[in-house]
Amino acid sequence: MIYLNIIVAGLLTGAVYGLMALGLSVIFGVIRIVNFAHGEMMVVAMYAAWLLNQGLGLDPLAALPLVTAGLLCLGYALQRGLINRYIARPDHEQFLLLLAVAIIITASLLMGFGPDARNVQLAYAYDSYEVGGLLLDKVRVLAAASAALGALALTAFFRFTRTGKAIRACADNQFGAQVVGLDVKRLYAITFGLGAACVGAAGCLLLLLVDVQPYIATDYTLLAFIIVILGGLGSVSGALLGGLLVGVSEALSGFLVEPSFKSAISFGLLILVLLVRPQGLMGRRA
Amino acid sequence: MRAEALAGLRRREGVALALLAVALLAAPVVVNGYILSVLVLALFAAYFGTAWNLLTGFAGQLSLGHALYVGLGAYASAALFVRVGLPPWLGMIVGMAIAAAAGSIIGALSFRFGVTGVYFALLTIAFNEFTRILFDHFGWVGATSGLFLPVANRTHDNLWTLRGSPVMFYYLLLALTSAALLICHRLLNRRIGYYWQAIREDQEAAQALGINVFRTKLWAMALSAAMTALGGGVMAFYDNNLYPDTVFATGRSIEIITAPIIGGLGTLFGPILGAFVLTGLGEIMSWVSGSFHIDGLKQWCYGAALLAIVALQPSGLWPWLRSLLALGGGRR
């Protein structure tokens, strides 16, 4: 029973990880740029949610739409103003560009908020549901449900709206999309905005579960990489599956082996998947 | 006409190189201890950058996990010295062998299974992080509590036991960096150098021409890893303390690769120029921001400087400086 409890807790956290990684996956799948500032963007969202909580007393769940919209605009502006110019450049130039963005974000947060860890106090922080002997933390259930909703909304957007279809067309064939008259640069900006919105929402949800501090950003960037590669870069279901997998493996290794070993197991999984199935569990071969 | 112009170029290059050599050789006599320590840092960055540039700049394989080889070299030589009493240089040879083996295994696994580009880069990060956490739990080398070398005697320079003053380390690093530069220069003009560049430009075309892509890339991995490990060994004896979380830090891998990219990826002098520019920039910024007492200001300026360079000189500072000084050398 204790194992089941741990696995379920891991799955619920994993859903939030999945939403975060989904942002990275969408950005790579369409724009073919690896967002090395992904964790940094999420930490921005976490601080935004924390500020709204401290200033207006908003619950991070209530702040979520605001923060998500804010990150959407930020991501759009970043792609439009900066990254669009580097689309056709070699990998290492794109890497340096996003590295510089990541450094600037972390340094700005450090200047604004200092190095101390911040968290939100919630009245329901220690509530839990009991379902047939299974103990579920209320915050984890809420976070996972919201993450699932977010992923669903994004999938619906890509499937049913005109803009979503146009973005998928860009991802399939950038040149063809240009030929039929799609404004590829604008669509890229929207895509980067959507990817940022995913981390915006994930950041609010994660603030329910962990403390925020400027330097945690790199760890989350790496975590997002692990997840999307496990699942397959560019695949929506893959990112979610990868998130769940990493959530469970972290929870189990924290319990069975040693908490400090949990990321070693995630990296081990990543190495295994890259070698056996480099396109990821759910990915297609390019 | 053309030959005369070429001779003129050679002369200019020779003069520039001689001036640089004199400046670098004379530096320890002129500068104070603080600047010397900064110069040592810059030389470390230049050496590591040159070793990394061999793999990524010449052979075109983007590695984001070179701290792995720094750490293997550092830990091998330091642990063998402390635990077994093996002289540093022998320990470094062991470290180079281990790193070359690790690089070959990672390369063999990735290239065999067709892991390239971004995926290869992320795989190198994964191996680096995985090893870091292993060393966190590796009791023989001190695990998280660190590995310490006996305190250095800074009055007597002993090149064999690597105990001595920063000046000794400065000249040692200068020699190593020059040797690395020379090796790169020689290799580039040999068959394997041309193979590497062919693979970098178009792997499929290189394969179609009959180049053994797999073996050629493995050579680049092994050579770059071994060179990096040698620097790691020297670093262990310069720092005198090793912690897995700093030695194997992904941040170190990033530091190693920013200098060559800033300086000019795939050029010979780029990594060295980039190392001196970035180290100098970092020191100036900590000096300036230190007077403001704001956390993060230094990193912010550093990030802004990187952004400015990638926006204005995306192919690096060296190609720009070279044309400014009207030096020759083609793409190098």
pLDDT, tens digit (0-9, with 9 covering 90-100), for A200-238: 999 999 998 889 999 899 889 989 988 988 888 778 888
In angstroms, the separation between the Cα of residue B124 and the nearest Cα of chain A is 9
Q: Domain B8-324 maps to which CATH number in 1.10.150, 2.60.40, 3.10.20, 1.10.3470?
A: 1.10.3470
pTM, entire model:
0.87
CA B177 to CA A54: how far, in whole Å?
Answer: 53
Contact (CB, 8 A) for A229 and A276: no
Q: Note the pLDDT of residue A286.
A: 46
Q: How far is CA A38 from the centre of its chain?
A: 7
User: Among A36, A103, A228, A253, which would you mutate to test the B interface (most chain B Cβ atoms within 10 Å of its Cβ)?
Assistant: A103
Q: Scanning every residue of chain B, which has its alpha carbon at the shortest distance from the alpha carbon of A215?
A: B296
State pLDDT tens for residues B206-259. 888 888 989 999 999 999 999 999 999 999 999 888 999 899 988 889 889 889
B126·A91 Cβ contact <8 A: no
Tokens of A2: 């204790």
Q: Scanning every residue of chain B, which has its alpha carbon at the shortest distance from the alpha carbon of A114?
A: B295
Give whichever of B29-33, B98-102, B263-267 has the largest mean pLDDT.
Answer: B98-102
CA B9 to CA B13: how far, in whole Å?
Answer: 6
B296·A93 Cβ contact <8 A: no
pLDDT of A122 above 80? yes
Beta bridge partners of B158: B163
Q: Scanning every residue of chain B, which has its alpha carbon at the shortest distance from the alpha carbon of A225?
A: B122
Q: For residue B168, how many other CB atoms are within 10 A of its CB?
A: 18
Chain B residues inside the 8 Å CB shell of A101: 303, 307
Q: Classify B148 as helix, strand or coil.
A: strand
Torsion of CA B193, B197, B198, B203, to 10 degrees: 120
Q: Note the pLDDT of residue B331.
A: 46
Q: Note the pLDDT of residue B54.
A: 94
Higher pLDDT, B97 or A91: B97
Q: Helix/strand/coil (H, E, C) string of B132-190?
A: HHHHHCCHHHCHHHCEECCCCCCCCCECCCCECCHHHHHHHHHHHHHHHHHHHHHHHCC
In angstroms, the separation between the Cα of residue A227 and the nearest Cα of chain B is 12
Q: Note the pLDDT of residue B11.
A: 76
In angstroms, the separation between the Cα of residue B169 and the nearest Cα of chain A is 30
> Which range, of A241-245, B176-180, B193-197, B297-301, averages the lowest pLDDT?
B297-301
A106·B299 Cβ contact <8 A: yes
CA B297 to CA B279: how far, in whole Å?
Answer: 16
Query: b/e for B247-281, b at 16 or more Cβ within 10 A?
Result: bbbbebbbbbbbbbbbbbbbbbbbbbbbbbbbbeb
* Interface A-B: count of C-beta contacts within 8 A: 122
What is the dihedral sign for C-alpha A67, A70, A76, A79? negative
Q: Note the pLDDT of residue B4.
A: 63
B300·A107 Cβ contact <8 A: yes
CA A112 to CA A41: how far, in whole Å?
Answer: 15
B300·A260 Cβ contact <8 A: no
Give the closest residue to A129 by CA, choosing from A110, A120, A117, A142: A142
How high is the mean pLDDT of chain A? 88
pLDDT of B292 above 80? no
CA A201 to CA A65: how far, in whole Å?
Answer: 8
B307 vs A92, A100, A274: nearest CB: A100
Q: Which residues of B touch A (CB under 8 A)?
A: 56, 62, 64, 109-110, 113-115, 117-119, 121-123, 125-127, 129-130, 133-134, 136-137, 250-251, 254, 257-258, 261-262, 265, 294-300, 302-304, 306-307, 310, 314
Has the ipTM of the complex gone over 0.90?
no
Q: What percent of chain A has pLDDT over 90?
A: 44
In angstroms, the separation between the Cα of residue A16 and the nearest Cα of chain B is 22
